Amino acid sequence: MNRKYIILFLLIFSLSCEKRNSVLEFEQNVFDQIFLNVVDLTYKDKRLYTLFPEVSPKLLYDKDGKWIGRDTTGQYQREVDCELKREILKKDTLNLIIAIDNEGLISMKTDLKKYSNNKFIFKHFSELPKIEEYQNWGVKYPKFAGVMSFSRIQFNHKKENGVLNVSYSCGGKCGLGYSVYIKKNNKKWIVYKVKQTWIS
């Protein structure tokens, strides 16, 4: 009698594992189809997103010692210089380095090279230790554009529509979040809506 229960248990366990694996394979296949499009629609280039004109550190005070403002001498030129840098960076769009956090379907076992193309080179975020504002990433990779993470995909019961959450981070208190809506269209998965959900 016990042997029958053991066989039945093993059979049920085996079937549930097969079903789980087929669900994961389906989700992974969809994720692989939409990955580059999702990145392209939600990433920001940290080099541009965090580039602002330098402000003079010199503070001005009146004769009584009361603060009245900053010395703006040369500020116009600093703004022009910053805009020139921005224009150069806007044209520098190949081989941007994006670090991918291990979340959702991404793990250390994921070969990120399969997603890389002329525009993006993907690296595991765990490659370098976490340092404030990702300074170590900027030093190692001058074209470091930021860190991204992706949730699992939640599908409707017919598996014709889905949604996932995407986070982009450019520093300790710098980032954006999105809900990305996908659907099956002519046997291919496409992104049909991106909604910004938070900003920091």
- One digit per residue, pLDDT tens: the chain, 200 residues? 566 655 544 444 444 444 455 889 999 999 999 999 999 999 999 999 999 998 877 888 888 989 888 888 888 899 999 999 999 999 999 999 999 999 999 999 999 999 999 999 999 999 999 888 999 999 999 999 999 999 999 999 999 999 999 999 998 889 999 999 999 999 899 999 999 999 99
Bridge partners (DSSP) of residue 10 are none
113 in any annotated domain = yes
Name residues whose C-beta falls within 8 Å of residue 123's C-beta, 6 or more positions apart in sequence.
Answer: 97, 98, 99, 100, 112, 141
Domain of residue 187, residue span: 32-46+95-199
Neighbours of 59 (CB within 10 A): 10
Element (H, E) at 69: strand 67-70
26 in any annotated domain = no
What's the domain count of the chain? 1
Predicted TM-score (pTM) of this structure: 0.81
89 in any annotated domain = no
Q: 91-94 long-range CB contacts below 8 Å, 24 or more apart?
A: 92/143, 93/119, 94/118, 94/119
Q: Give residue 17's pLDDT.
A: 42
10 in any annotated domain = no
108 in any annotated domain = yes
Q: Give residue 1's pLDDT.
A: 53
In the block, tokens 């594992």 appear at: 17
Distance CA 88, CA 106 (A): 33
Query: Apex CA 151: angle with CA 25 and CA 121, to 5°?
Result: 85
Q: Give residue 21's pLDDT.
A: 59
Q: Give residue 56's pLDDT.
A: 76
